[in-house]
Structure 1
Amino acid sequence: MLQSIDARTHEPFGQALPESGADDVNRAVEAAAAASDAWAASPAAARAALLRGLADALEGQREALVPLADRETGLGPVRLNGELDRTAFQLRGFADQVDAGAPYTCTDDPAVAGAPPAGRPRLTRVRVPVGPVAMFSASNFPFAFSVLGGDTASALAAGCPVVVKAHPGHPQLSRAVFELARGVAAAQGLDEGVLQMVQGAGIDVGVQLVRHPLIQAVAFTGSFRGGAALQAEANARPQPIPFYGELGSINPVIALPAALADKGAELAKTLAASIALGCGQFCTSPGVVVVQQDEASQAFVQAFAEALAAQTPHAMLTPGMRKAFDAGVARLTGHEGVKTLVAVDAAPAAVAPTPLLVQTTAERFTASHALREEVFGPAAVVVQVADADEAVRVLKAVGGSLTVTVWGAETAGDEAQRIVRAAMQVAGRVLFSGVPTGVAVTAAQHHGGPWPASTAPFTTSVGYAALDRFLRPVALQDAPAWLLERKGQAC
C-alpha cells in the first residue's frame, strides 16, 4: 500500500492507496492502446480542447490541490502555486502549438518528370504519433513534472495516449490530479484510455510498464541510476523503444575575472541563493563553480562562501534523498585534496541540511570521477583554474550537462570563444547571465544535453519542441488525394 507522509511532522495521513499490480499495469496499457488510433487521428480542436480543459481544471481545484501538495512535499504554498501556474501555462502553450498545426507539419515535394536523379515521384513527409507513452513523474516537481506535467502535455499534443507512473512521494496528490483529468476527458466525450495512471513504491511497476509490448516510448525525469536502469529495459525489449530520460547534471558555472571584478559580490549572493533554492533539489542547480586565481576571483569565492553559509534551505523531499545527499557530502569532504569552505552541520535526516561548499584544483577535479558526480542537494564544488585552457579541460571532464553558465564573456576574444565553444559542446543550454535554475517554457528552449545529462541529447523535455519526441516521420510517395487532404493528420 502507498501511504502519504506529512512532510513536516513525518506522520502518515490519509487513506493508504493500493499499489498497481501486473494486471493493473496491463489494463492501463491496453486501455491506452485501444484509444491510440482514434487519438492519433484526432483533429487539432479535440487535442487543444483537452489540454485547455486540463489547465482550467487544475486552476479550478487550486485551493484543494496546493495544500495537499504542500502536506506531501513541504515545498510551501508560494512555490507550489507558482508551479501550478507553470503547469497550466504549458498545457495551454501546447494547445496553442496544436492550434498552429505543429503536430501536423508536412513537407511536400511535387513530382518531377524524368529519370532520377533529376526526376522523382511526389513525396510528402508527414509525422505520425508513435503510440502509447509511459511517463515517469518526478519527485521534485509535483505539478510541473508529474501527472499533467510537460511530458504528458507534449505527448497528448502529439496525439499519443499516456500511461503515467505516479511518484510515490506524493501519492494522494497524484491520485487527485489524475481523477481531475479523468473528469475532464469524460466531460469531453474522450476515451478514458487517453490518460491512464499506475502507482507503486518499488521498481516492479515501472519495469513492467517499460517492458509492456504496447508501450511505444518512455519519458523519464529522475536520477541517473534509475533512468539508466529503465533505459536498459527499453533497449532490451524484443522491440526496443525510444527512452527520453532527463537524468540531472552538475551544471558548471564559469566565472571569468571580468565579471567578478565588476559585480562579484552581487553574483556571489545570486549564486548562493540558486544553490539553496528548493534545497538544491533541481536538475539545474549549479554544482561546480570554476574561478581563476586572480584577486577578484578569490574575493568572490570568499563572498560566495559567506552568502551560502547564510542560506537556510528547507528539509529535503524524502528520507532517501537526504541519505543520498549525506553520502555525497561525505564523498566530497573525505576526498584527498579537497578543502571544505562551508561545512554541513550534523543533524537528523528530518532536519533541513545546511549547504556544503568545497574547493579543489583543476588537476584533482579532472582526475577524479568522484568529484564530478552530482550531489542532489545544496552543495557545490569550487574549482580553481590557472587560465582558460584549464577551464576548458574542466568542462570536458564534466562531460554532458543540462546547462553551463559563462559569466564575463561579453567581449569577443580567444579566451571567451574557447570557453563558449567548450560549453556548447557539453551542454544543452548555455547562459551568459543569471543562474540556471528556472527553465522557461518556450519554443526556443532546450532542456537536455549529452550523456549523462540525458539519454537523447537531440530532444528536449521542456519547451514546445518536446512534442517532436512522440512523432515519427513517414514519407508518403504518390499518396492518394484523400490522404494528402488530411494535411498531416493521421488517418
Structure 2
Amino acid sequence: MTGIDTVVERADAAGAKWRATPAAERAAILEGVADALLKNLDELWPVADAETHLGEVRLRGEIGRTASQFRLFAEVLRDGGSAEAVIDHADPDATPPLPDVRRMNQPIGVVAVFAASNFPFAFSVAGGDTVSALAAGCAVVVKAHEGHPRTSDLTASVVRQALPDPDLLGLVHGFEAGGPLVRHPLVTAVGFTGSLAGGTAVKGLIDQRPDPIPFYGELGSVNPVIVLPSADPATVAAGFAASLTLGVGQFCTNPGLVFVPEGREGDAGAFERAIGDAVAATTGGRMLTAKIHDGFLRAADRLAGRPGVARLSSGAAGTAPDAVTPQVFSVPLEAFADGLPELGEECFGPAAIVVKYRDPSDLPAVLRRLPGSLTATVHAGPGAAPKEAGAVVQVLRRLAGRLIWNGWPTGVAVTWAMHHGGPWPASTAPAHTSVGAAAIRRWLVPVAYQDWPAALLPPELQDGNPLGVPQRVDGRLRA
C-alpha cells in the first residue's frame, strides 16, 4: 500500500463519521477552524512569505479571508438550505397514482483538491474547495502546491487541531502524487485551481478511470474589460494599472484585455495615452515560482512578436534580481481579431493588451470569439445611455460568470451571491462556483427516498422537520 492509499483510506473512514455529524455540530467545528487560523496568524504568514514573496500585508489579509470562508460555510450549514429538502406526499387519486417521494442532497464522498500557487491560504490547503467540501460532509485530501510546501504542512497542522479527526484533512506532496490521487477508487470528486495545461492533464486522468468522477476545475481566464466612450480616461487608467499589477498580476481575475475607443488618425487617443502613462508609473516584483516567472517572460515575448501588436508601455521591475516588469501592449481591433485565438489566451502575470476600436457596434462580433472568462467588465460614464452598452452586455452574459460595472475584477468577495466560474476554459463546470456559499453544491449529490419508512428518513425529510431546515412540501417552499 502506498502512502497515498493510506491517506485516502483514512480520509474515507473519517468521512463516514463526519457525514453522520449533525450540521449544527459541523458548523461549530468550522468556526473553530477559523479561530485556529487567526490564532496562528503570526506563525503562518512568515512561512508563506518566505515561499511566495507576497508580503505581510497581503498574507495577513488572505489568512483573514480564509477564516471568513470557514465562518460563511458555518452559516450555510445553520441555514440548512443546501440540503434542498423536497417532500412530495403520496397521491393515490392521481392518474397514475403518485408515490411518496422525498429528496435531499448528501455528501459525495472523499474529495481530492489541487492547491493553487497564487493563494497559499485562500485557494490552498484551507481554501474554498476544502472548506466547502468539509461543510458538505466530505473528507478532503489535498495535493499541496510545489510552490509552498512548508506553508501547506503548517496550515494542515493548524486546521487538523480543530477537527474532530485529523484524517478528515489529508495532505500529499509532489507532482507525481496527482495521478495516483485522482485515480484512487475512493476519491469521488476533484477540485482544481491552476493552469489550462494542468487542468487538462487532470481531466485526462479522470477520463481514464473505470468510473469517471466530477471534475471542478478553474483553468485560466483573460477577463476582458470594455471601456465605452463615455468613461473617464484618467479613472479607467488608474484602476486598470492597479488591478493589472496587484499581486504582481498573479490573480485568476487579472484584466488581460482592455477594449478602448481609439483616437483620431495620428492620435494615440486619450484612453491609450492614460493607460500607457499609468502602467509606466507601476513597479513589478518577484513572481511566485521560477516556473511562473519563466512562463510569463515567454508569454510576453510572444505577444511582442505578434503581427500588429506594439508595446505601449512598461513599468519598473523593482529591486529584486528576478523581478518582472509590468507591461501593456496595444493592437487595433481588426489585427486583434486576425490574431485570435492566440491573442485571447491568458498571460499569467502583469501584462495585458489594449485593443483599440472605432465604434462600440464593432465589438460584439469580436467578443463572441473570445474564450470563456471568470469575469467581464464594462466601464461607462455616469448617466450613460443603456443603448451604449446594450449590444455589448448581451454578449458578455454568455462570455463570463461575473459581470462588473465600473469596477475591476481582482478581488472576489466571499458572499452568498458570489459566482466564481465561467464557460470553458475559465472553468470546467460553468454552472458551479469555487467561491461563495453555492460552492458547497459541487460536493453534494441528490438522493430520493420513495415510500420510505418514516423512522428511517433523514431528519431533513421528516414531516415534523425537527432541524427546522427549509423544505419544499408538495410544491410549496416552507422556511
**Fold shared per TM-score above 0.5:** yes
Matches within 5 A, 1:121-270: 121-185=99-163, 190-200=164-174, 202=175, 204-259=176-231, 263-270=232-239
Contact 1:103/1:157 (<8 A) preserved: no
- Rounded to whole Å, the distance in 2 between the matches of 1:306 and 1:480 is 71
Shift of 1:371: 1.0
Change in CA separation of 1:415 and 1:253 when aligned onto 2, cut-off 3 Å: same
Give the match for residue 439 of structure 1. 412
Change in CA separation of 1:384 and 1:163 when aligned onto 2, cut-off 3 Å: same
Shift of 1:49: 2.1
Does residue 271 of structure 1 match 2:240?
Answer: yes
- Alignment length (residue pairs): 458
Does residue 332 of structure 1 match 2:310?
Answer: no
Which amino acid in the other structure matches residue 305 of structure 2? G
- Rounded to whole Å, the distance in 2 between the matches of 1:41 and 1:488 is 15
Matched position secondary structure for 1:257: coil
Shift of 1:386: 2.4
Q: Which of 282, 288, 311 is the matching residue for 1:317?
A: 288
- Rounded to whole Å, the distance in 2 between the matches of 1:102 and 1:91 is 17
Give the match for residue 347 of structure 2. 375
How big is each residue's C-alpha offset from its partner over 1:94-118, in whole Å with a ceiling of 9 and x where there is no partner?
011111113433011122222435x
Give the match for residue 50 of structure 1. 29
Matched position secondary structure for 1:116: coil
Which amino acid in the other structure matches residue 423 of structure 2? P
Question: Structure 2 length normalisation: TM-score?
Answer: 0.92
Which amino acid in the other structure matches residue 85 of structure 2? C
Matched position secondary structure for 1:340: strand
Q: Percent identity?
A: 50
Shift of 1:485: 5.0
Structure 2 residues without counterparts, runs of 5 or longer: 463-479
Change in CA separation of 1:292 and 1:322 when aligned onto 2, cut-off 3 Å: same
Give the match for residue 430 of structure 2. 457
Structure 1 residues without counterparts, runs of 5 or longer: 1-21
Give the match for residue 275 of structure 2. 304
How big is each residue's C-alpha offset from its partner over 1:7-31, in whole Å with a ceiling of 9 and x where there is no partner?
xxxxxxxxxxxxxxx7111111111
Shift of 1:488: 5.2
How big is each residue's C-alpha offset from its partner over 1:234-268, in whole Å with a ceiling of 9 and x where there is no partner?
12210000110011201000000011xxx220221
- Rounded to whole Å, the distance in 2 between the matches of 1:191 and 1:65 is 22
Give the match for residue 473 of structure 2. none
Which amino acid in the other structure matches residue 471 of structure 1? L
Q: Calculate the aligned-residue CA RMSD, in Å.
A: 2.0
Give the match for residue 360 of structure 1. 331
Contact 2:419/2:432 (<8 A) preserved: yes
Moved more, 42-51 or 438-447: 42-51
- Rounded to whole Å, the distance in 1 between the matches of 2:177 and 2:458 is 42
Shift of 1:217: 0.3
Contact 1:231/1:243 (<8 A) preserved: yes
- Rounded to whole Å, the distance in 2 between the matches of 1:376 and 1:399 is 15
Moved over 6 A (4+): 344-349
- Rounded to whole Å, the distance in 2 between the matches of 1:79 and 1:242 is 33
- Rounded to whole Å, the distance in 1 between the matches of 2:262 and 2:123 is 40
Does residue 423 of structure 1 match 2:402?
Answer: no
Give the match for residue 73 of structure 2. 94
- Rounded to whole Å, the distance in 2 between the matches of 1:31 and 1:350 is 45
Which amino acid in the other structure matches residue 106 of structure 1? A
Give the match for residue 285 of structure 1. 254
Shift of 1:438: 0.3
- Rounded to whole Å, the distance in 1 between the matches of 2:102 and 2:347 is 48
- Rounded to whole Å, the distance in 2 between the matches of 1:478 and 1:242 is 29
